[in-house]
Amino acid sequence: MQNDIKKAIEDIYINGNTELFITKCRDTVDFLDELLEKIKTKSENVEKFFDSNEPSSEIRIVVNRCSFSEGEIEYVSLLQINKIVKYFYLQDEFSIDSPDPDGMDSYLAGFRNEPYSKKQFDVDETICNYLTEKGYSRLYINDMDEVYPGIKKFKDREETNQMTVGNALFMDMWELCNSD
């Protein structure tokens, strides 16, 4: 775990500086519109999720769709830009209609931190280069799933789930921003 991530988690969840979290969640990512314009030219659809009072700005990018005789495959990239620390998470996905009449689902899907298509690679490269220039670093799924021991995932519940980096910094698990 990177030191600045560890420090932010300790400040908020151990030392009780929840005002830091709340204040950062109210911030906006000031360069987001510029990044969206760069991505829009390389994709079919870009959807920005409402991020007011959230610890990260989330964007869903439909990179492209490919049709073939048995159906269609859709390539999607999901981007989260954190407001608490200067990190981002980028996940590449695909989904395809299942040709199996005995299948349990009507589609097959997968995700990872690497692109599935050349167009998805181009979008990812644009995002990573842009955010790196802005001083952000990329987190991967193993970074997001790293557990910070001793912090409960849900503030007022008795349970054994532990807080991960993704839960602590990219989600408002303790409902700090919406407790008003």
Q: Structural domain boundaries of the chain?
A: 3-170
Contact predicate 129/39, CB 8 Å = no
User: What's the pLDDT tens digit per position in 132-173?
Assistant: 999 999 999 999 999 887 775 555 555 556 788 888 888 877
For strands 137-139 and 87-97, give the pairing: parallel
pLDDT at 119 over 90: yes
Q: What is the mean pLDDT of the chain?
A: 87
User: What's the pLDDT tens digit per position in 86-118?
Assistant: 999 999 999 998 888 888 888 889 889 999 999
Element containing residue 168 per DSSP (H, E): helix 165-170
pLDDT for position 179: 59
For strands 56-68 and 71-82, give the pairing: antiparallel
Q: Is pLDDT larger for residue 128 or for residue 19?
A: 128
| Tokens describing residue 21 | 């979290």
- pTM here? 0.88
| Tokens describing residue 26 | 């109210």
pLDDT for position 106: 83
